[in-house]
Chains A and B, each alone.
Chain A
């Protein structure tokens, strides 16, 4: 077995979650998400502002409140729609993209950025000053970044709610669109 593991304790201020900007991880730009969800297609921006009536219809159909009346949409040349939205996570907004095919089914969901990794404990990188003394067994490469967290509860309920809201948005606003 090749399993190797070591258990360490780092002073609280030293735990910096890697990625950036703002201590998050950027997975995809909007353009990258477009080409992953609809390879080879062209995208025509077709953003909408929801009317009060549409907001009510979407909220009724999905059971999810509409916080933002601006809907970022692109019409896909090969059929279907590409939408970008964001939901509130535990501490930050989570931007994500969704592809809907021309039958109204979800083609895929991609999270664009994720900043939830360590909640409120994300610190500035000025912690190196704390490591002036050497501790036995703790000769760490201090610039080694920490990219993952285990044990903090990460639920995708908000993303799922957001997706349901966008599906209702498709039904209400986009499906019968002739633009």
Chain B
């Protein structure tokens, strides 16, 4: 009897059309798709997941002067600042990646990004930034303190983290099959493999596609270089800063990183863009796999080997 009921339930769940919605958050479009569930329940789960994303957006926006990131940039040099558990988690991930990449990944590049017109100058009174990730301290009570004035920007990690939180919320609502996509930072949960096209046109006349199951993917490119411009309003370089050199990462690279968690995939793209094939060991340390495309040398696999779906 039990096996008849469970197979009926399986039949029922496969009869439900998938539900997908999209909202603008985190500077991009975030879409959430749920499969195998009645539409009303799916919508409730999607609502809950978007609430997670919205809250992270509010806390971690560089642009919003009321966000926790802005509060840290204004106040954490003067004394420890208490932040939400999620903001703390992102900072902890960021510091871990910084220490393992010897500073190649560094969230304190806000100053450079403002100089390059990638980010707007924060309004209000901010001391000019001087330090690096090494100046970020998290006290035992979770208070965040900057030993030197810093402008941290979580743009290179918050999307991936938000995707993970959205997936976890969906799973806690009983969803078994779902995809969350935050502007190309994607995580897939459920046994059904998902195909994802990479946003890169290559001269070889083929489209690279990754098939994923129970994994995350994030991609970045370092562009074809921008004209140097003295105009204040024009973006002078791309958005990726080499954390150690504090200069733009090498041009002409496209990378996609595959890992279990999207926060890992998202952050790793920056290191692979910056360090290229030297990032292999760093990727392996986090169980991540990357495909790097360089306009001169084509595709290369780096990091861990991953099972095929």
Q: Taking beta carbons and an 8 Å cutoff, which residues of A are in contact with B?
A: 1-12, 14-15, 17, 25, 27-28, 36, 96, 108-111, 114, 116, 118-119, 121, 144-157, 159-160, 163
Contact = CB atoms under 8 A, between A and B. Distances in A.
A148 B194 contact: yes
Contacts of A146: 195-197, 209
A145 B20 CA distance: 15
Contacts of A151: 184, 198-200, 219-221, 254, 256
Contacts of B307: 3-5
Given A150-B185, A159-B29, 12 more contacts: A1-B260, A2-B215, A3-B214, A5-B309, A7-B209, A10-B207, A114-B22, A147-B196, A150-B196, A150-B217, A150-B219, A151-B256
Instruction: Say what secondary structure dominates the interface of chain B.
Output: strand
Given A4-B193, A110-B22, A110-B23, A154 B183 contact: yes
A150 B23 contact: no
B23 A148 contact: no
B181 A5 contact: no
B124 interface: no
A160 B27 CA distance: 9
Nearest to B180: A148
Given A7-B208, A121-B207, A148 B181 contact: yes
Interface of B: 20-25, 27-29, 31, 33, 43, 47, 179, 181, 183-186, 193-201, 204-215, 217-221, 254, 256, 258-260, 287, 289, 291, 301, 306-309
A157 B20 CA distance: 21
A159 B183 CA distance: 14
Nearest to B39: A32
A13 B201 CA distance: 12
Given A4-B309, A7-B291, A155-B28, A150 B210 contact: yes
Contacts of A7: 208-210, 291, 301
Most-contacted residue by chain B among A7, A14, A28, A150 (CB, 10 A): A150
A111 B22 contact: yes
